[in-house]
Amino acid sequence: MVLKRNRYKRERQQVMVSQLQENPFLTDEELAELLFVSVPTVRLDRLDLGIPELRVRTKDVAEQFYGQIRSLGAGELIGDILELDVGKRGITVLEVKKDMVFSKTKILRGHYLFAQANSLAVALINADVVLTGSASVRYLTPVFLKDKVVAYAEIVGQKGKSFVIKVNSKVGSAEVLRGRFTVVAKEMNDL
C-alpha cells in the first residue's frame, strides 16, 4: 500500500501549510529545516499544493493591503454611476471584488457598503463642499464576492444647508442595506 508514504507526505504538507499560514515569509530553505527534508522536497510540496514562492506570497500580501487602502481612496465616488440627478436622486453599482471581502467567509466588509451609500449621498448635493453630519445604517443581509450591489439614493428632506438622504442598496431583489444620511453643504470660506 502506498498509504503510509502518502500519509507521511500529506502530514508534512499539512504542517507546511499551517507554518505558512502563521508566517508567510518563510524561504524554502527555512521550511526545509523546519520539516526535516531537503529543499527540493519543499519545492515539490509547494508545487503539489499550488503554493507560490516566497516573493510572490509577499507581494500578494502587500498588494491586498495596498489595494484595500486604494479602493477606499480612489475617486470621490465608490461604485459606478448608473443614474445621477443631482439634487434629487442617484443610482450606483458596486461589484464586489476579492479584496473587499472577509477571506474566511467571502462576505463583503461593512464599510464598503457604507462607503458606497455615503459617497452617493454626498454626490447628490450640488455644492462645493459637502460633509456627512450623521449616518444611520442597517445591514439586512450579507453580500458576497462577485455580487453586484445597486444603491438607490434620494433626497427626502432639507433644512437650510442640511439635507437628509435615504439610501437603499440591493443585490438582485434582496435589500442589503437601508440607511439615512444627514449631510451639510458648506461654503469653502466657512472653514
Partner DNA sequence: CCTAATCTTATTACCAAGTAACAATGAATA
Partner DNA sequence: TATTCATTGTTACTTGGTAATAAGATTAGG
Positions in the binding site for DNA (CB under 7 A): 1-2, 4-6, 8-9, 12, 27-29, 37-41, 43-44, 46-47, 52-55
- Determine contact, residues 80/74, Cβ cutoff 8 Å: no
User: Which three cell numbers mark 34?
Assistant: 523546519
Considering the complex, state which of residue 5 and residue 23 has its C-beta at the smaller distance from its own copies. Answer: 23
Q: Is the C-alpha dihedral spanning 177, 181, 186, 191 positive or negative? A: negative
Task: Tell me how many degrees the CA angle 77-161-169 measures, rounded to the nearest 5.
Answer: 35
Residues in contact with its own copies by the rule CB under 8 A? 24-25, 55, 58-59, 61-66, 68-70, 72-76, 78, 97, 99-100, 102-105, 107, 109-112, 114-115, 118-119, 122, 128-129, 131-139, 142, 188, 191
Residue 109 touches which of its own copies, DNA, none (Cβ within 5-8 Å per kind): its own copies
Residue 158 touches which of DNA, its own copies, none (Cβ within 5-8 Å per kind): none
Residue 41 touches which of its own copies, DNA, none (Cβ within 5-8 Å per kind): DNA
Other CB atoms within a 10 A radius of the CB of residue 100 amount to 22
165 vs 131: CA distance, rounded Å: 13
- Determine contact, residues 49/67, Cβ cutoff 8 Å: no
Considering the complex, state which of residue 60 and residue 85 has its C-beta at the smaller distance from its own copies. Answer: 60
